[in-house]
Chain A
Amino acid sequence: MITGIITFLIIFAVIGSILYGLKLAKTEKIDAVFGNPERAKGGAHWIIVGSSFLLIAWLYYSWDLAKSFYPQSANELCQVAKVNDSMLSLKYLFPINEREFKSTSIIKAENKNIEKLANEIRNSSTIRNQDKDKLLDFIKKTKRTIPLLTNEILLENKTKIKLNELTNRIIGLTEDFQKISYPPKKTIEEENKRIEALKTQGGWGSSGTAVENTIEIPTIPETKKGLKFDAAAKELIFISDDFFKLRNHNTQYKTLIKEIKDGIKKYRSELDETHEVASILAKDVLKIARRIEYASIFPPKTLNDMEQAILEFDKVQKKEQGGLRLIDIFLFPTGTIISSGPNCSEQGSGRWLPKPSDTLKKFTLLLKPSVGFKNIPLIWYEMMDVSKIVGFILPDWIADIIPGKYPIHSNDGTVKPNFKSKVLNVVTGEFKLFKIPVPMGHIWDSFLRVLLGLVLGIIFGVPLGLLMGLNRFAKGFFDPLIELYRPVPPLAWAPLVITVFGIDNVGKVFLLFMVSFSIMIISARAGASGTQLSKIHASHSLGASKWQILRYVIFPNSLPEILTGVRVAVGMCWGTLVAAEFLAGTTGIGFVENVAKKYFQYEVIWITIFVMGMLGLLFDIALRKIITKTIPWHGKG
């Protein structure tokens, strides 16, 4: 419902924006020539069009449009899928979706296999000649079983009658299927039972109350059309089962296969252990014989009537689908609903691309601090005592260097604190002050890691980069180191970093630091060495000190390069972080995505992708603001 309204709103917005854009293009006075960046300014209406197209594509390919405009279609298509599923085994026998008859391809393959095995026997050097003769005789007999199955004259009357019967059942079903009265009315009791069951079965779409996957498509037929297909599917399963029980085994075939089986059995029992190779080869012959026995091989034209009947039924069931078929084609792109056993499922883009409505439902659920993911909220706050911060800042050894000893327990089993132990409590944060709220959760953890890695990279990278740009020794000394480690993809370090620094935050932050560090060095160095010489000369001749030149000339001149470097580093850090959290983690967006993948929770996977996109965007917007604030001259020089 809401999705439907949104869809219409989007369409109106797109049309409106396009019209506005066209009008603007006509009326606007163009005084900027081509190539002037002014021409790319503005254009909020095109943003609407762009994001609308994204949303529409998402709605369409996740089949949310189908869900909002035809909520019943999934249930009905599920019944259709049941029909298709029950016909599948039969269809595979005929060149309907295939190139050739199943019988043909089996015979082709088995003839090849027989030939191969015969060659193997003939060329074998380990078996005796008498064994070879015996084995080749078995092979010859096995080969002779095939024409016994494919000869129409040999086809037994009993089998013919049964085939006819099955064909008539399909034809009968086809006729009944077109009647309005099909399926025959059930008893009131059965009908009530179905209505009762319908109440408990949910609607189409994923659950909004559990993070875990639930069955998404209601399987019990809800509509008249659905009932019809459901009933036909049940009947078709019976027909299909009966057909596959049927074997085209005439008396001659039965005698021959028994002869082969008995012969091989006897032959193998007579062989002692020294002739194991021959024994195994005999078994291989038997396997081919049994494969042929098990396959449904019929004479070439025997099944023509049945094929016709199946094709006819297929045509009729497609016709009976009516409008549903159009919905299937147009609103279920790149796949459809298929049936597997008693359940139906979405296969195609609908499976791995969750519906926006479902994703939103799951996201709201995950955002609830009490639910979260693996007992940790996505983003929330917790009350933390300020003492913990004090304990973090003050080093623990302060307590150790205070003269005296830590208290020892006394005879009556109590421990009396002394001054030294009290100091220890303070420096480790083991005391109560007041509490303040601090953010926590998966998103916050990821955010913090990126921020820390980035800040550390800037703090160490920028001065070193500037130094390398200005000082011969620094350049020469650090260049080999930096240039060697810089081109290595950051993730190549990951296994090593995790072994050295462990799986905690230290390792991940260090990895991110490595990423941002090299980028910052390169950009700061490029900025420093790119400063216009005339500016430096000017300040020098005005009497500026070294420090003043660095602070007021070189640094501002390299700022654009540095800030661009930061923007690049942010992107790289996000990419590395997610992979690092994949490797080992207990929190973080990457961890959520990795675990969700293991449980096939596609909604959660997409949520993490969106969250990462959003956070990346936030970082970038913040940086753009900083850039326009700190270097307003950028791009205007």
Chain B
Amino acid sequence: MKKIISFILGTVVALNLSISVANAAAKEVRVAFFLEWPTPNQEDKVKGMFEKAMGVPVKWTNFSNGGAMTDAMLAGDIDISYSQGLVPFINAVKSKAPLKLVDVAMEYGMGGTTCVTSKASGITSANGSELEGKKVAVPLGTMAEYVFDESMKVVGADKSKMTVIQMDPEEGAAALVSGDVSMACLFGGNSIKAALTVGTRLLTVQAARDAGIKGIDITSVTDKFMKENPGMLRTFIEVTHEANARYAAGKSDMNVIAKDAEMKLGDMKETLGGFVFLNAADTKKSMESGGNLDGFLKGMGTPNGAVDTSFLPL
């Protein structure tokens, strides 16, 4: 009996200890990013500028959606998520994930994330309420879901009367092409392009901008990495902002970015053209009380303390 008890206690203690011991020193930085989502800092990524600036190897991993980025960050496989959508970040923070928002990657209109209705359905923004009772494909828990919600408010359709199907952008585009759904909300250049061959944008880029529908992508980081390597994080954001400034000055190497984003040059330019990159001062304004980002976060009921502006290169 004594042996059994000591064995059980030993197992319990060993389990407790084995998990709490972790290696903290950063020998490399692991960054998550999206394909089909071109950003100026991809030039630096390809040319190894991040490695040089941060002084450690940088490992880039591409993801298909922001939720997966969060999963990987929580599992300890990713330190920094670049251009994670705001919606997945908010979902993560709401579910008590120890993540921080440290920078706005970009703001974008409906160019990059949009809802496309099929031409066969004959639905446009004018008769948007006809979507009620139809099937729509939406990647739930991403920025596209937010765009879907807002678009439905604009066209005056009741989304609770629609059949919302959970589909990632590539599948959503395929379902729109095959006629399974009347509308698909998507992000990513290639998916939108595929959808537009059989459909039209529910709201034009301009109409969406007028209605105030705006996507925000952010840079998020694990608490642990932030506490441990504040210098590296600051450098990462600084290099990114430098790349944005270079893009604004028209000095970016578009071919490199297109190749890294796995897009054709023309498509890439069009997608990139829809992004607005804020400089550090504007970013701070957006992140602070009363700013765009702050309004977005509050509107979605994000718990306080998820934003940290102290790493911006001001």
Residues on A facing B (Cβ under 8 Å): 85, 88-89, 92, 97-99, 105, 109-110, 113, 117, 212-217, 244, 284, 287-288, 291, 294-295, 329-330, 333-336, 338, 340-343, 345-348, 351, 374-375, 498-499, 502-504, 583-586, 591, 594-595, 597-602
Contacts and interface: CB of A to CB of B under 8 A. Distances in A.
B140 A595 contact: yes
Given A341-B100, A341-B304, A499-B174, A585 B55 contact: no
A333 B16 contact: yes
Nearest to A61: B15
A333 B164 contact: no
19 contacts: A92-B24, A98-B24, A109-B55, A110-B55, A113-B52, A212-B94, A284-B52, A291-B53, A291-B235, A294-B234, A340-B305, A346-B96, A351-B96, A503-B165, A503-B175, A504-B180, A585-B165, A598-B166, A601-B95
A333 B96 contact: no
Top 9 nearest A-B pairs (CB, nearest first) are: A341-B305, A598-B141, A345-B96, A600-B95, A340-B98, A342-B305, A213-B95, A334-B19, A88-B227
A244 B53 CA distance: 21
B97 A294 contact: no
A338 to B, nearest CB: 6
A599 B66 CA distance: 11
B227 A89 contact: yes
Residue from the set B12, B15, B231 with the largest chain A CB neighbour count within 10 Å = B231
B202 interface: no
Contacts of A346: 96
Interface in B289-314: 303-306
Given A88-B227, A347-B98, A600-B67, 4 more contacts: A99-B25, A216-B96, A499-B178, A598-B91
Nearest to B162: A586
A341 B228 contact: no
A599 B141 contact: yes
Greatest chain A CB density within 10 A among B98, B135, B165 is at B98
Contact of B98 (A284, A294, A338): A338
Most chain A beta-carbon neighbours within 10 Å: one of B55, B94, B141: B55
B122 interface: no
Nearest to A349: B19
B55 A97 contact: no
Contacts of B140: 595, 598-599
A504 B67 CA distance: 26
A215 to B, nearest CB: 6
B70 interface: yes
A294 B233 CA distance: 12
A109 B166 contact: no
Interface of B: 12-13, 15-16, 19-20, 24-25, 52-53, 55-56, 67, 70, 88, 91-92, 94-100, 135, 137, 140-142, 160, 163-167, 171, 174-175, 178, 180-181, 223, 227-228, 230-231, 234-235, 303-306
Q: Is the interface of A mostly helix, strand, loop or mixed?
A: mixed
Contacts of A113: 52, 55
A586 B231 contact: no
B16 A586 contact: no
A330 B8 CA distance: 12
Contacts of B97: 345, 600
B56 A105 contact: no
B178 A502 contact: yes
B166 A594 contact: yes
Nearest to B171: A584
A466 B177 CA distance: 42
Nearest to A112: B55
Contact of B25 (A98, A503, A585): A98
Contacts of A600: 67, 70, 91-92, 94-95, 97
B95 A584 contact: no
Contacts of B55: 109-110, 113, 288, 291
Contact of B15 (A333, A345, A347, A583): A333
Contacts of B164: 374, 586
B223 A340 contact: yes
B231 A585 contact: no
Most buried by A among B24, B53, B92, B95: B95
Contacts of A351: 96
A584 B19 contact: no
A213 B165 CA distance: 22
Nearest to B92: A600
A333 B304 CA distance: 28
A58 to B, nearest CB: 15
Contacts of B91: 598-600
A499 B223 CA distance: 42
B16 A334 contact: yes
A343 B19 contact: no
